A and B are shown apart, each in its own frame.
Chain A
Amino acid sequence: MDELIKIILLADDDDDDTELFCEALFEVDPGVTCTCVRDGKEVLEVLSNMKESLPDIIFLDVNMPGMNGWECLTRLKEEEAFRLIPVVMYSTSSLQRNANEALELGAVGFFIKPNDFKQLKTLLQAITTSSHNSLLNSISQVPGITSKRTTSPS
Chain B
Amino acid sequence: MILIVDDKPENIFSLKSLLQIHAFSVDTAASGEEALRKILKTDYTLIILDVQMPGMDGFEVAETINGYSRSKDIPIIFLSAVNTDKQFIFKGYAAGAIDYVTKPFEPDSLLLKVKAFYRLSTQTKKLYQMQKALEAEIKVRKKAEESLEQMVQQRTAQLVTANKELEESNNDLQQYAFIASHDLQEPLRKIQTFTKLVMERHLTGYPEALPYLQKVLYSSGRMRNLIDDLLSYSKLSSAAPFRPTSLAQVVADVLYDLELIIKEKEAVITVGNLPNAEVVPAQMRQLFQNLISNSLKFSKESVAPVIKIDGEIITSKSFNGLPSDDGSFCKLTIIDNGIGFDNEYTDKIFSLFQRLNTRSQYEGTGIGLAIVKRIVDKHKGLINAKSTEGNGSEFTILLPLKQPEADAPSKITY
Which residues of A pack against B, CB within 8 Å?
14, 16, 20, 92-94, 113-118, 153-154
Q: Is B72 an interface residue (CB 8 A)?
A: no
- B281, CB-defined interface residue at 8 Å: yes
What are 8 A-B residue pairs whose CB atoms fall within 8 Å in the complex?
A14-B186, A16-B190, A92-B182, A92-B186, A115-B189, A115-B193, A116-B193, A154-B281
Distance in angstroms from B65 CB to nearest chain A CB is 92
Given contacts A93-B182, A154-B281, A154-B282, contact A117 B197 (CB under 8 A): yes
- The interface of chain B, by Cβ under 8 A from chain A, is 182, 185-186, 188-190, 192-194, 196-197, 200, 224, 228, 231, 281-282, 285, 414
Kindly count the residue-residue contacts between A and B in the assembled complex, taking CB atoms under 8 Å apart: 32
The answer to whether B282 touches A116, judged by C-beta atoms less than 8 angstroms apart, is no
B317 to chain A, nearest CB (A): 28
Q: Which of A113, A115, A116, A154 has the most CB of B within 10 A?
A: A115
Tell me whether A115 and B182 are in contact in the complex, defined as CB-CB below 8 angstroms, given that A154-B281, A154-B282, A154-B285 are known contacts. no
Known contacts A154-B281, A154-B282, A154-B285: A114-B186 contact under CB 8 Å: no
Contacts of B189 in A (CB 8 A): 92, 113, 115
Q: Are B182 and A117 neighbours in the complex by a CB distance under 8 Å?
A: no
Please name the residue on chain B nearest to A63 by beta carbon.
B186
A120 to B414: give the CA distance in the assembly, Å.
33
Q: CA separation between A114 and B189, bound complex, in Å?
A: 8
Residues of A within 8 A of B190 (CB): 16
- A69→B196 CA distance, assembly (Å): 28
Task: Write out the residue numbers on chain A whose beta carbons fall within 8 Å of the beta carbon of B188.
Answer: 115
In the complex, chain B residues whose CB is within 8 Å of the CB of A118:
196
CA distance A54 to B285 in the complex (A): 44
Closest to A20 in B: B193
Residues of B within 8 A of A94 (CB): 185, 228, 231
- Contacts A154-B282, A154-B285; A116 near B192 (Cβ below 8 A): yes
Given the complex of chains A and B, what is the CA–CA distance between A115 and B414 in angstroms? 32
Selected from B196, B231, B281, the residue in CB contact (under 8 A) with A117 is B196
Residue numbers in B under 8 Å from A16 (CB-CB): 190, 194
Verify B196–A116 contact, CB threshold 8 A: yes
Cα–Cα distance between A20 and B224 once the two chains are bound (Å) = 21
A77 to chain B, nearest CB (A): 26
Known: A154-B281, A154-B282. A117 touches B200 (CB 8 A): yes
